[in-house]
Amino acid sequence: MTSGGAKHPEFEGISVLVVDDDYYQATDAADAFAKVGATVIGPCGHVDQALASIESTAIDCAVVDLNLGFGASFDVPRCLKNRGIPLLIVTGYDESMLPPDLKGTSWLDKPVHRTALVRTMAQALRDACGALKIEHPGRTWSADQKAPALRLSTTGAQWRRHLPSGVRDGHNDRLWCGWISGSL
């Protein structure tokens, strides 16, 4: 349990949703993220709990198992993807199992080491930030990959701190939310 000690400053203040139906694996993952300074949401062992957490909590990224007790299910990864929340799939299934709309999602095979877990999640976060390009009539703004990790959230509130003032004007939180996920 000493391997999770590597410093990952990008997880400071970042909330990580952990979804796995296996108690040991779920708590191991939660422990790994807590150790690097992330706020752990969950862990959730059931689809409905995970969906409720996504709905009610500001989540920056998520690590998700595909089998939550009743065969492979893609409800949780789809929900996260639709909201533009970076996610990492950790599962015993083969990657070929992924449906076309989820192809390209970050992926780790079980059993997974906590160091690999944290490192891959951090990379997925950086990739999501780098890929982010926000367009607005009159100006274009891209996230700098070297910038501190963008705060991704379902409310959009945390995004706004990182947006230039001209972009923010005239939009309420709700509009931001739909608009941001649409441009991801």
**Binding footprint of other proteins, residue count (CB under 8 A):** 26
* 22 near other proteins (CB under 8 A): yes
Nearer to other proteins by Cβ, of 6 and 147: the residue is 6
Report, in Å, the least distance between residue 70 CB and other proteins: 7
Other beta carbons within 10 Å of 7 = 9
Give CA–CA dist 126/149, Å, rounded.
Answer: 7
Q: Which residues contact 64 (CB under 8 A, 6 or more apart)?
A: 17, 19, 20, 50, 76, 77, 80, 87, 88, 89, 90
Nearer to other proteins by Cβ, of 43 and 156: the residue is 43
* 70 near other proteins (CB under 8 A): yes
Give CA–CA dist 35/16, Å, rounded.
Answer: 12
Q: Which of 110, 133, 139, 174 is in the footprint of other proteins by CB under 8 A? A: 110
Give CA–CA dist 76/62, Å, rounded.
Answer: 10
* 46 near other proteins (CB under 8 A): yes
Binding site for other proteins (CB under 8 A): 1, 21-28, 43, 45-46, 67, 69-72, 91-94, 97, 109-112
